[in-house]
C-alpha cells in the first residue's frame, strides 16, 4: 500500500518512507502514528493525546521523532485503544504499554498515564506474547501457549475475569477457555472475542448490540461460547465498534452485532444477536477486517478482490461494494472514519523503478530474451542468466553444454503450459499467478526442481483454496510430496468436516493404504468417540 494514502504521512520525505517497515495509524481523527524502520528504530508523529506517541512528553509533532524506549527492541506489532493507549510487542514476545491509563489499561497498578513505553512484566514476565489487541480502554494479549491475559476497564466484563472492577494487572482468562488453545483474539469497543485452534468462538464483555453472538443482548463477565457456530470451524475474527465478523476454514463469512450503518451486510438495519452468513455471492473469502474505532467492514476474496460495506466515509453502505483496491488497508485509509490502520501495515515502498521492477518486466519479453521455453507448442521468452541465478535446476542444466552449443529453445513436455509459465514467472517475481486448483501440479514441479520456497507458496495457495471436495486429494498429494505442514492442515480440515469429506469423490479416489492410515489417525484424534 502507498503509505501516503494515509493523510498523516503526506508530508513525509520519500527517502524516509522508503525505509519504513511497519506503520500504525490511530487516534480520533487518524492523527497519530507509530513507525518501525528497516533498521529497527521506532518513530512517532501526531497530536500525542495522553502521551500516546511514547516520546516522553505530550507535545504534538508533524515530523517523526524517535521513540527511544522502543528503538532496537524488535517491535513487530501494535494495538491501540481510544483513550488512546498503545501496546507494542516484540519478536522476543515482550509487551510494552503507554498512553492513557484512567482504567488501568497499562497494567502499572495505577491510573497514571505514561508518556514513555513501559514493559509489562509481573504475570507476563515469563510469557512469550504473539498477538495483542485493545478495546476502547482494555488490553488483551495472546501467548505462544494459547493463553489469553487481559486487563484494564472491566465495567462490562470485557477482561473476562468474572468480576466488574477494573483489572489493574494482567490476569489469565480461565473460565471456559482456560484449558483450550487460543489462536486469535480481537476486541470491540467494550467486548472481547477469541478463537480456539479447533475453530470454536468465545465472547465476553458488553453485549448490548448482540456483538458477542450468543443469541441475546446480556453482558457476559466470563467467556461464553458462540453456539450458533458450533458446526463451523472459524479461523479468524475481526471486531468493529459493536459488531463482529468471523471467517471459516471454508472461506465463509459470518456477522453479528450492531448494524445501524450496514456493517453486517444484511438486508435491514436491525441488530443481529447470533451469527448470520453473509457475502455468499462474492466467492471464497480469505481475509476480513474491522476496527473498534469504526463501523466499516471489509473482506478480500481468493482472487484478491476487495469489498467494503458499512460506514464508508459518512455513507451507510448495506450492500458490499467491489473496490479497485489491492489491500484491505486501503479501505480504511480511503473510506474509514477515522482513517486508521485496522492493524499495522507492513510495507516496502518503492517510488522509482528498481532492479526488481525491471526484472519483473523482462519476463516473457521477446525483445531481450536469449532463451525460448516451448510447452505444448507455445513459447515463453526468458533469460538464461536469470534462470541460472534463481534456480539450481537451470544452473546445472546450463552450466556446460547449453552455453557451448548456443541452443536457444528448450522443449518441456512434463508439465502443462499454464503451470510451467507460472513457474517461470515466479522466478522473475516471487509470486504465483495461478488458480488454486492448478497448484498441485505446480507443487509437483517445485518438488521435482527442489524449490522449497515455491513449495511453501503452493501449500499456502492450496490452504486458501481447500474445501470438502478437494481436501482428500490435497491430503494425498501432501503425503506424496512430503509437505508435512500441508498434510497436517488438510488432515485437520478433513477432521473438522469428516462426514462431508469421506463422502466426497476425492476421498473415494484414495488408495486403500491412505484411507486406512487416515482412519487410524482420525481415530487417534478422537473422531469416532461417542
- Helix %, strand %, coil % of the chain (to 5): 25, 30, 45
Q: Which of 127-131, 143-147, 358-362 has the lowest mean pLDDT?
A: 358-362
**Number of C-alpha atoms within 13 angstroms, CB side, residue 514?**
18
Digit-coded pLDDT (tens) for 311-334:
999 999 999 999 999 999 999 999
Give exposure, 163-191, as e/b (b: 16+ Cβ within 10 Å). Answer: eeebbbebbbbeebbeebebbbbbbbbbb
pLDDT (mean) for 426-452: 90
Cβ atoms of 117 and 75 closer than 8 Å: no
Separation of alpha carbons 340 and 10, rounded Å: 14
pLDDT (mean) for 40-55: 98
Cβ atoms of 24 and 80 closer than 8 Å: yes
pLDDT (mean) for 358-363: 92
Contacts of 508 (CB under 8 A, 6+ apart): none
**pLDDT band of 448, cuts 50, 70, 90:** very high
pLDDT value at position 294? Answer: 96
How far, rounded to the nearest angstrom, does the alpha carbon of residue 7 sit from its chain's CA centroid? 24
Separation of alpha carbons 420 and 372, rounded Å: 13
How far, rounded to the nearest angstrom, does the alpha carbon of residue 326 sit from its chain's CA centroid? 15
pLDDT of 350 > 60? The answer is: no
pLDDT value at position 530? Answer: 62
| Beta-bridge partner residues of 378 | 375
Separation of alpha carbons 25 and 61, rounded Å: 14
Cβ atoms of 106 and 97 closer than 8 Å: yes
pLDDT value at position 268? Answer: 85
Q: Is the peptide bond before 430 cis (omega within 30 degrees of 0)?
A: no
pLDDT value at position 351? Answer: 47
Separation of alpha carbons 209 and 194, rounded Å: 18
Cβ atoms of 478 and 518 closer than 8 Å: no
Report CA-CA distances (Å) from 462 to 61, 72, 285.
46, 37, 14
Q: Which of 220, 228, 231 shows the shortest CA–CA distance to 190? A: 220
pLDDT value at position 107? Answer: 97
**393's torsion region: left (phi>0), alpha (psi -120 to 50) or beta?**
alpha
pLDDT (mean) for 222-241: 97
pLDDT (mean) for 351-363: 79
Separation of alpha carbons 498 and 467, rounded Å: 12
**Number of C-alpha atoms within 13 angstroms, CB side, residue 385?**
5
**H or E element at residue 396:** helix 392-397
Contacts of 455 (CB under 8 A, 6+ apart): 443, 446, 447, 481, 483
Angle between helix 484-496 and 512-524 (nearest 10)? 70
Beta strands 201-205 and 220-225 are antiparallel
pLDDT (mean) for 406-414: 85
Phi (first) and psi of residue 169, to 5 degrees = -145, 160
Quote the mean pLDDT of the chain.
94
pLDDT value at position 402? Answer: 56
Cβ atoms of 313 and 279 closer than 8 Å: no
Cβ atoms of 211 and 220 closer than 8 Å: no
pLDDT of 50 > 70? The answer is: yes
Separation of alpha carbons 376 and 374, rounded Å: 7
Q: What pTM was estimated for this model as a whole? A: 0.84
Digit-coded pLDDT (tens) for 476-528:
988 988 888 889 999 999 999 999 999 999 999 999 999 999 999 999 998 88
Cβ atoms of 427 and 391 closer than 8 Å: yes
Cβ count within 10 A of residue 39: 9
pLDDT value at position 349? Answer: 43
Query: Which DSSP string corresponds to 504-518?
Result: SHHHHTS-HHHHHHH
**pLDDT band of 153, cuts 50, 70, 90:** very high
SS (H, E, C) 110-174: CCCCEEEEEECCHHHCCCCEEEEEECCCEEEEEECCCCEEEEECCCCCCCCCCCCCCEEEEEECC
Digit-coded pLDDT (tens) for 173-184:
998 898 999 999
pLDDT value at position 250? Answer: 96
pLDDT of 141 > 90? The answer is: yes
pLDDT of 348 > 80? The answer is: no
Cβ atoms of 47 and 60 closer than 8 Å: yes
Amino acid at each position: 500500500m502507498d503509505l501516503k494514502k494515509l493523510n498523516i504521512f503526506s508530508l513525509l520525505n520519500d527517502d524516509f518512507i522508503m525505509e519504513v517497515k511497519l506503520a500504525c495509524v490511530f487516534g480520533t481523527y487518524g492523527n497519530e502514528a507509530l513507525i518501525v524502520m528497516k533498521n529497527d528504530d521506532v518513530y512517532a508523529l501526531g497530536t500525542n493525546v495522553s502521551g500516546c506517541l511514547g516520546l516522553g512528553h505530550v507535545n504534538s509533532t508533524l515530523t517523526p521523532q524517535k521513540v527511544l524506549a522502543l528503538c532496537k527492541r524488535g517491535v513487530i506489532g501494535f494495538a491501540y485503544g481510544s483513550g488512546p493507549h498503545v501496546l507494542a510487542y516484540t519478536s522476543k514476545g515482550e509487551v510494552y504499554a503507554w498512553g492513557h491509563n484512567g482504567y488501568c489499561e497499562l497494567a502499572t497498578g495505577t491510573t497514571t498515564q505514561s508518556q514513555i513505553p513501559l514493559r509489562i512484566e509481573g504475570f507476563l514476565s515469563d510469557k512469550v506474547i504473539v498477538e495483542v489487541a485493545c478495546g476502547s480502554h482494555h488490553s488483551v494479549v495472546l501467548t505462544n501457549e494459547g493463553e489469553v491475559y487481559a486487563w484494564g476497564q472491566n465495567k462490562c466484563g470485557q477482561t473476562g475475569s468474572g468480576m466488574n472492577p477494573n483489572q489493574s494487572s494482567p490476569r489469565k482468562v480461565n473460565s471456559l477457555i482456560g484449558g483450550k488453545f487460543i489462536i486469535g483474539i480481537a476486541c470491540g469497543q467494550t467486548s472481547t472475542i477469541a478463537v480456539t485452534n479447533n475453530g470454536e468462538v468465545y465472547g465476553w464483555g458488553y453485549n448490548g448490540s448482540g456483538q458477542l453472538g450468543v443469541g441475546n443482548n446480556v453482558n457476559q463477565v466470563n467467556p461464553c461460547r458462540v453456539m450458533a457456530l458450533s458446526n463451523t470451524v472459524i479461523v479468524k475474527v475481526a471486531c468493529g465498534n459493536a459488531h463482529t465478523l468471523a471467517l471459516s476454514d471454508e472461506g465463509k463469512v459470518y456477522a453479528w452485532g450492531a448494524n445501524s450503518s450496514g456493517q453486517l451486510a444484511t438486508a435491514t438495519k436491525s441488530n443481529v444477536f447470533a451469527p448470520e452468513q453473509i457475502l455468499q455471492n462474492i466467492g471464497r473469502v480469505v481475509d476480513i477486517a474491522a476496527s473498534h474505532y469504526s463501523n466499516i467492514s471489509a473482506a478480500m476474496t481468493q482472487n484478491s478482490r476487495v469489498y467494503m460495506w458499512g460506514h464508508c466515509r459518512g455513507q451507510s453502505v448495506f450492500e458490499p461494494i467491489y473496490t479497485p483496491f489491492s489491500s484491505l488497508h486501503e479501505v480504511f485509509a480511503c473510506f474509514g472514519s477515522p482513517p486508521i490502520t485496522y492493524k499495522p501495515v507492513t510495507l516496502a515502498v518503492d517510488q522509482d523503478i528498481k532492479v526488481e521492477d525491471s526484472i519483473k518486466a523482462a519476463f516473457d519479453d521477446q525483445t531481450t530474451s536469449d532463451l525460448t521455453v516451448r510447452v505444448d507448442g507455445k513459447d515463453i521468452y526468458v533469460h538464461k542468466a536469470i534462470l541460472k541465478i534463481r534456480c539450481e535446476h537451470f544452473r546445472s542444466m546450463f552450466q556446460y553444454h547449453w552455453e557451448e552449443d548456443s541452443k536457444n529453445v528448450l522443449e518441456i513436455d512434463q508439465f502443462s503450459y499454464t503451470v510451467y509459465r507460472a513457474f517461470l514467472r515466479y522466478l522473475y517475481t516471487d509470486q504465483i499467478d495461478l488458480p488454486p486448483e492448478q497448484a498441485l501440479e505446480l507443487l509437483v514441479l517445485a518438488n521435482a526442481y527442489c524449490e522449497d520456497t515455491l513449495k511453501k507458496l503452493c501449500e499456502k495457495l492450496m490452504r486458501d483454496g481447500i474445501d470438502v471436495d478437494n481436501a482428500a486429494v490435497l491430503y494425498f498429494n501432501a503425503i506424496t510430496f512430503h509437505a508435512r505442514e500441508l498434510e497436517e492442515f488438510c488432515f485437520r480440515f478433513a477432521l473438522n468436516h469428516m462426514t462431508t469429506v469421506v463422502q466426497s469423490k476425492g476421498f473415494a479416489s484414495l488408495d486403500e493404504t491412505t484411507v486406512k492410515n487416515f482412519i487410524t489417525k482420525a481415530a487417534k484424534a478422537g473422531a469416532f468417540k461417542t
